[in-house]
Amino acid sequence: MAKPIVVTDDTFDREVKDGLAMVDFWAEWCGPCRMIAPILEELAAEYEGKLKVLKLDVDENPKTAMRFRVMSIPTVILFKNGEPVEVIVGAQPKRNFVARVEKHLPQA
C-alpha cells in the first residue's frame, strides 16, 4: 500500500517532475497539518500508480517552501509534470482534495 513520500529541498524537483504529484507543505508543530495527514495517507493508497503524495517539512526545507511562496500551512500543491496546477490552503475535507485530483487525472 502506497504511503506519502518524504521529500527535501534536494529531492523535490526529481519527485514532482513526472505525472501528478500532491505535495503537503507541513510542520511537526502544526495542528491542522496533523488533521489532514490521515486524509493524505488514504489518497496515497487510493490513487496508487496515478498520484504521488509527498510531504515536505517547511522548517527543515525552507528553500522549496519559499520558492512556491508557501505563507501558511498546511498548504497542499498539486503538480502536473513539475508545474503547479492547484493550491489548497488550510485543512479541508477529503472530498475537496479528491475533487482537485480528479480534475487532473486522465479520463477513462
Region of 18 on the Ramachandran plot (φ > 0 left; ψ -120 to 50 alpha; else beta): beta
CA distance 16 to 37: 19
CA distance 94 to 18: 24
Catalytic residue among 30, 39, 54, 70: 30
Is 99 a known active-site residue?
no
Question: 10 Å Cβ neighbour count for 71?
Answer: 10
Question: 10 Å Cβ neighbour count for 21?
Answer: 22
Catalytic residue among 33, 51, 54, 78: 33
Is 30 a known active-site residue?
yes
* Active site residue ranges: 30, 33
